[in-house]
Structure 1
């Protein structure tokens, strides 16, 4: 529409070329502004078309239709939602304030095409801190980022979606400040001891795991909506004795892709925890008296991520006493790929031979210790470089010890009594 343009308009009332209306005064011979159909038709259509654009049917009785349409178009509505099921309409476009403290919440979206030509927008915000489940479902065959639904996990989490007025909803913003993002650099677990048993707790959050297919480099993101725990019984010593001193236990999150569970291992047991391999656990129970991995329920070939470390002393008949809990990250995590971590000494005398080249394919440095036979010269070659020489005058039992880098070749020219490797 345009401003009034009749001959009796108030010329330049709002600035140059911006005409307006004026009252008349017959005593002063001032004519009021004449009205014409063009201006009224323009004013009518501008307002009615806002109403219609918002999917509202104009009527002569309701005086809030422009407001209703604008709230739909610009997501200006506020809708509180509690437990149970709520079916949203176009008149809920805007902030959906969720409180699931009393129970699970299910929210059903309207069709993306509920308002023709308008991309409706909803921002879902969760207030409560419970573990109750909040699920938002599509309508019909619509999709939500290619899926049929999504959940909102964690207090103060939010997700904003907008429809394309065709058949799909897209996430345009998402936050999850109420959950703890767990990664190498930020742990999310705590541990306490009572009655000689250790209780490990993982707070609600999200972990990025490797794929359980080893030749697939994609990550799998898994969340736990509520805290989960693992109890290490006071009789589960993981092979430790009182005289062995303080043990370092590694706590891991593990997942097959749908849920997070906790597992624990004594690092003295030579378990590879550098996250390049899958892990298999036994039921932790009171019978976990070896250095194997333990979890509440035995699991096979799951992806894992180290979350924290517990330094604790095991005393027979009493159980565990914690001296330190260390979150993963920094040197504590990077050490898992160092020599001595996840490795054990293995006697390979029967499978090694002199003047034969071997290769370190373990993915980490290894240490080799060889006892040379009496009066037998020994020359150690690593990746083509001579790194040690034992003279022919050597006594039986003299030894050579050397480190083999990842992927390197190694060999001994000579004869030996024993051959052992830390691998």
Structure 2
């Protein structure tokens, strides 16, 4: 009993000394961390794992050296074995914490709260996936090392190795879906097809990539629902990525109106609306007649915004404003079905309506060419060259 009490006292003393040393090192590193981001991250993430690892290691040494008189006793072997397992677990935890601290330090250099954050989102996606992969590898290795501390497991090791080929084939067939998703996640991380915070359209839903793991992707839909898809979906199914190259995007609002609609007046009204709202980024504001069949004409308003959220609100604003403008200012352009009865030689009522004059612009003001998507402005010229080619575009101009 006296020897047991001595061992327990030695273990408690060793644990207290270890905790005291860790506390001193933690305070020192916190002071030095004010000048170093890496040291600050290490201090924050690795403090608790270092406490546990140092305490368990100190207790193991205390028990080992104070029980030399009982070498070979079952209780000593059991206690030391438990402590070895605890050391392996704490070491794996500490290694994972150190990797997380290094990765957070690397991520701090790339800000995603800036307008042009495509490269930062790409790096963040790759680092997050690598973090998940490395932590999974550390856990698997730690579990393997812990199992190898049991003599029974080491004894069957030779038999396991001889049948590793058959087991590997069976495991690959059983887990082919899981492995496919893991490889698909790595492919997404390094192919730059999709990144965190990308705006995508999948399964007819518009949303943002909220989480990207090795096995599944979480898409936050615009109404705060979550769409969870396997990573293999994004490598085998076409989807829309609105922010792969930049956040600025184009959007449309379409109207079916009567042939009597004054297109130029509606075009100028669209321009006035865009110039008066902060949702428009100043790049594209175009109104075009895209179809004229079935007794109606289809007008398409094409506008641009700095990001997908602003574009959604801008498209709704354009629809609401132009619908009200047609209803209040140009009711003659509302969709209608005509039926002519009687003599056709007389003037029709809708022909007798006098058109209103468009509002005058100040003298010297140049009317923007809002009737062309691929031309008429610097942005339109660039878009035309992207689809036609710089040389072919110049030849077509000639």
TM-score, length basis structure 1: 0.28
TM-score, length basis structure 2: 0.29
Higher helix share: 2
Instruction: Between the two structures, name the one with larger relative contact order (CA 8 Å, sep ≥ 6).
Output: 2
